[in-house]
Amino acid sequence: MAVVCLATASLTPAGAIAQPVPADLATLPPVPTDYAPQRTAWGDPDLRATYTLDMINTGRIAFARPAQFGERFWLTEPEFAERLEAARRSDAAFSEETSRGTKGLEAWMLAEPFARRSSMLVSPADGRLPALTPQAEALRAAGRSSWITEGRTYDWIDDFDTWDRCITRGFPASMLPFRYNNGVRIFQAPGFVVIHFEMLGDRIIPLTVAEHRPAAVESWMGSSLGHWDGQTLVVETTRIKTGDGATREVWRRAASPLNVATGVQSNNAIPVSDQAKAVERFTRTGPDALVYELIYTDPQVFTAPWTARLTWSRDDGYQMFEYACHEGNVSIRNHILASRAERREAAARAAPR
């Protein structure tokens, strides 16, 4: 898996300049809208392409902002120099140039201003996720996930979340970078936009439907309605799959998960309530760059809304292979067998002799 991540990073072409770095590092300029993409045969702005988020993951751009950056959206020159040196060390393990004529992580960082960002989160001001509500924190702590191991036992498949079981990473996590398999492909047809993920699933976004599905009809990717705001595709999503009580389904956050309170690495499963709502904006800012912005609100889970903004890099040569997750997925069985064995051994030790 590590080899795949690094090799992909070294093969991804640099994106177009999407947003210049301002002199004031605590200022985030609006998304540029002066680039005019080509039009489809039926007149919509053309977003069709294969994009990859691997550079964001491999470049270690955090989802939530590390505390040392304060309220700065951008790195200082010395901080960026450290990130750039890490990219050079990563590239050193691979050929800088390939027969495809593409370059490595360092080239992407020098060409793409997003590489100078302190985090994907841009709101709240500190770039960190708002605190969870008490009920959401209780659900998170009781979450069904192999990533929560302390004090947990595993006895059947319903002790695991949907990502463990090769169903979905959930929404909006599927739109954000992960540890591997970060390809995203956009298709368009009259009245529809389709988003295909390299890892688990697709989204079908109608552009001519006026109302969401009934509240009782939920799905892993929710009910999405899209429309055009100039060159920008705007999508509103609700009716996201929730679950019931302590078995509430979760979505997995981005790569390098951060605990919402301490900022340290920890479990990254987040509950979803029936009040969850997302507004996304997809804006082509150049021939090889698309800025993706996500505003997420779930008042039963988060104490405030939050916003993420990141740049997707176009790479039409990126190959997306079958994500054969179920085949050979021995993780679930091994967790259950190991957990049962541990309990048998503990009972044997505790039995009177």
- DSSP for 88-120? HHHHHTS-SS-TT----HHHHHHH-GGGGBS-S
Closest CA to 28 of 65, 79, 55, 81: 65
Say if residue 274's pLDDT is above 60: yes
Reported confidence tier of residue 243, pLDDT bands at 50, 70, 90: low
Q: What is the mean pLDDT of residues 17-34?
A: 82
3-state secondary structure of 136: helix
Q: Where are the alpha helices (DSSP H) in 112-217?
A: 134-141
Contact call for residues 203 and 219 (beta carbons, < 8 A): no
Chain segment 114-171, per-residue pLDDT in tens: 889 999 999 999 999 999 999 888 877 777 777 766 677 888 888 887 878 888 888 8
Domain ranges of the chain: 2-331
Nearest Cα residue to 295 out of 283, 310, 307, 282: 307
pLDDT score, position 54:
76
Please name which of 24, 12, 42 lies closest in space to residue 311, comparing C-alpha atoms.
12
Q: Which two tokens stand for residue 65?
A: 């902002």
Whether the Cβ atoms of residue 243 and residue 50 lie closer than 8 Å to each other: no
Which of 106-120, 180-194, 331-345 comes out lowest in average pLDDT?
A: 106-120
**Which of residues 177 and 204 earns the better pLDDT score?**
204
Q: Which pair of tokens denotes residue 52?
A: 């990859």
pLDDT band for position 4 (50/70/90)? Answer: very low
Alpha-carbon distance values, 353 to 340, 347, 349 (Å): 22, 12, 9
Least trusted range by pLDDT, from 247-251, 277-281, 312-316, 342-346:
247-251
Paired tokens of 47: 């977003």
pTM of full prediction above 0.85 = no
Mean pLDDT of the chain: 82
